[in-house]
């Protein structure tokens, strides 16, 4: 056995998906590939643990509980599935169920509920090809350490996102933006980290990787996440395990309707909250939120057609009263929509908003939309109280082919401006709460950071156009809401 190079690992992982191309829609790859990969990893590490224990303590050590991180029952190992010659989907299903039942606290439900026994979709021949493909490499810790397999897994998540197009943002956020948010919050050893819409757990993993990269203790981090999609929450759990993270809690439920982390009738609070909530969803239980027993409507109740401020209030309520800080990726509209002005004012008046960063276009799948990062803190340093820093980050973006991203230098430049917390000509401006109130509590970055001089240029005209366009969109949204209200009155 030999160490697996990262490029070989990536070819191996994507090769499994290519076997499915003629039978499975790209959006469904993940529900079949990830469970197979996880089973292969569990089995190979189990075999490796057996060999190491036997070499050190003798054959009897193979069965000791302390030898293994997970219990893999007889008949549920990779070799058992590989030896099946017919009804392979049934053999896989039985193996998944046996492993989940043997490890109820850690692995319950982790393999998902894909239709493995549907032979019209997954004939034995196709499953046999998949299993033989995965059998070409041994995914032991010696061959493929946790960080490297985790990197490969993230590569596969991104490839699925690229291939599946519009479904991608449900479980994948542009990783360079995630790393920016992590660098803004700078997690510390021993802190609690929470993502209320965690998808594939990329933000939690980014925080842990930050500590690893800075040679700080990461094993005492307490990671929490909630995800409404059962398959995606399972992917997140697998992702954390494959990155070597064991102390985490991922819940599968609707965060707004059934928040999972509650203590003594109140929301549990956390040191860090990172999130990319679903943008402007209209399918949510507004009536339940209006009478929320956790007080998450303290700024108001959003309109039915946009739940953005419901998620924002959940996040603010989930921040530790002393150490809490958050970075939330949100649609640009939350900065200036008239319908949310009262809630925005309440958040500003409470001096919770520390920084607003406008990020560039095309950082999201199948969408040219602009977004923003909202940074809040429950207890600002004295020098930042009564102030908000606005950063125009639209020029900090690189495009290569069809992909847009932040380079390490661009990411660090934005983070340095935030941590320095000072005015930067044409890029960053500190505004007082009085100045923001004078602008009707708008948080739109271009109302504070003016990127044009007296002599206009093409770029200046673009800035003016974007300002006009944003105001126009706000007007039409207000008009639509008014028209809908008049229609209801009839």
pLDDT tens track for 213-271: 999 999 999 999 999 999 889 989 999 998 888 889 999 999 999 999 999 999 999 99
What does 224-287 look like in DSSP terms, one character per residue?
A: EEEESSHHHHHHHHHHHHHTT--SEEEEES-TTTS-S-EETTEE--BSEEEE-PPTT---S-HH
489 pLDDT more than 70: no
490 pLDDT more than 50: no
Instruction: Specify the higher pLDDT residue, 164 or 418.
Output: 418
464 pLDDT more than 70: no
pLDDT of residue 172: 55
How far apart CA 324 and CA 51 sit, in angstroms, is 45
pLDDT bracket for residue 23 (50, 70, 90) = confident
CA atoms within 13 A of residue 340's CA, in its CB half-sphere? 28
How far apart CA 167 and CA 29 sit, in angstroms, is 12
Task: Give the pLDDT confidence of 315-349 residue by residue, as tens digits.
Answer: 999 999 999 999 999 989 999 999 999 999 999 99
Task: Give the pLDDT confidence of 141-171 residue by residue, as tens digits.
Answer: 999 998 888 888 888 877 876 665 544 444 4
How far apart CA 370 and CA 380 sit, in angstroms, is 27
> Which tokens in the block code for residue 372?
């923003």
The DSSP output letter for 216 is -
Q: What is the mean pLDDT of the chain?
A: 89
- pTM here is 0.85
Q: 327 in helix, strand or coil?
A: strand
> Which tokens in the block code for residue 255?
């965060």
pLDDT of residue 465: 56
Q: 368 in helix, strand or coil?
A: coil
Instruction: Specify the higher pLDDT residue, 293 or 488.
Output: 293
* Mean pLDDT confidence for 407-425: 96
Burial 391-430 (b: 16+ CB within 10 A, else e): bbbbebbeeeeeebbbeeebbebbbebbeeeeebeebbbb
* Mean pLDDT confidence for 423-436: 97
pLDDT-wise least confident of 158-162, 251-255, 361-365, 423-427: 361-365
């Amino acid at each position: 056995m030999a160490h697996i190079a990262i490029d070989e690992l990536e070819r191996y992982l994507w090769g499994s998906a290519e076997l499915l191309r003629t039978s499975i829609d790209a959006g469904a790859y993940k529900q079949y590939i990830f469970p197979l990969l996880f089973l292969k990893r569990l089995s190979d590490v189990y075999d490796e643990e057996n060999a190491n224990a036997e070499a050190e303590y003798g054959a009897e050590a193979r069965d000791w509980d302390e030898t293994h991180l997970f219990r893999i029952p007889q008949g549920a190992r990779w070799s058992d599935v590989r030896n099946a010659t017919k009804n392979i989907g049934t053999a896989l299903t039985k193996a998944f169920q046996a492993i989940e039942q043997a490890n109820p606290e850690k692995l319950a439900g982790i393999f998902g509920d894909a239709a493995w026994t549907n032979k019209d979709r997954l004939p034995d021949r196709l499953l046999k090809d998949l299993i033989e493909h995965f059998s070409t490499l041994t995914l032991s810790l010696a061959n493929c350490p946790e960080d490297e397999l985790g990197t490969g897994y993230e590569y596969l998540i991104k490839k699925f996102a690229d291939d599946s197009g519009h479904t991608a943002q449900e479980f994948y956020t542009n990783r360079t933006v995630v790393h920016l948010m992590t660098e803004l919050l700078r997690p510390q050893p021993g802190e609690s980290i929470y993502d209320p819409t965690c998808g594939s757990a990329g933000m939690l993993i980014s925080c842990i990787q930050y500590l690893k990269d800075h040679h700080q203790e990461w094993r005492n981090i307490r990671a929490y996440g909630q995800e409404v999609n059962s398959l995606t929450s399972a992917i997140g759990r697998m992702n954390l395990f494959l990155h070597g993270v064991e102390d985490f809690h991922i819940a599968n439920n609707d965060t707004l309707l059934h928040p999972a982390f509650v203590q003594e009738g109140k929301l549990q609070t956390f040191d860090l909250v990172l999130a990319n909530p679903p943008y402007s969803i209209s399918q949510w239980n507004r009536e339940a939120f209006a009478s929320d027993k956790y007080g998450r409507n303290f700024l108001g109740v959003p309109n039915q057609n946009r739940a953005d401020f419901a998620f924002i209030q959940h996040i603010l309520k989930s921040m530790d009263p002393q150490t809490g800080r958050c970075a939330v990726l949100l649609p640009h509209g939350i900065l200036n929509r008239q319908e949310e002005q009262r809630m925005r004012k309440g958040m500003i008046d409470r001096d919770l908003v520390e920084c607003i960063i406008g990020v560039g276009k095309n950082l999201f799948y199948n969408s040219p939309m602009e977004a923003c990062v909202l940074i809040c803190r429950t207890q600002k340093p004295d020098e930042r109280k009564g102030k908000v820093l606005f950063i125009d980050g639209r020029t900090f973006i690189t495009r290569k082919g069809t992909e847009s991203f932040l380079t390490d230098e661009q990411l660090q430049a934005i983070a340095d401006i935030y941590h320095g917390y000072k005015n930067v000509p044409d890029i960053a401006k500190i505004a007082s709460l009085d100045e923001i109130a004078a602008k009707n509590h708008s948080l739109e970055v271009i109302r504070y950071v003016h990127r044009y001089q007296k002599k206009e240029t093409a770029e200046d005209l673009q800035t003016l156009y974007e300002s006009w366009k944003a105001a126009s969109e706000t007007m039409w949204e207000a008009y639509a809401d008014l028209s809908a209200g008049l229609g209801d009155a009839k």
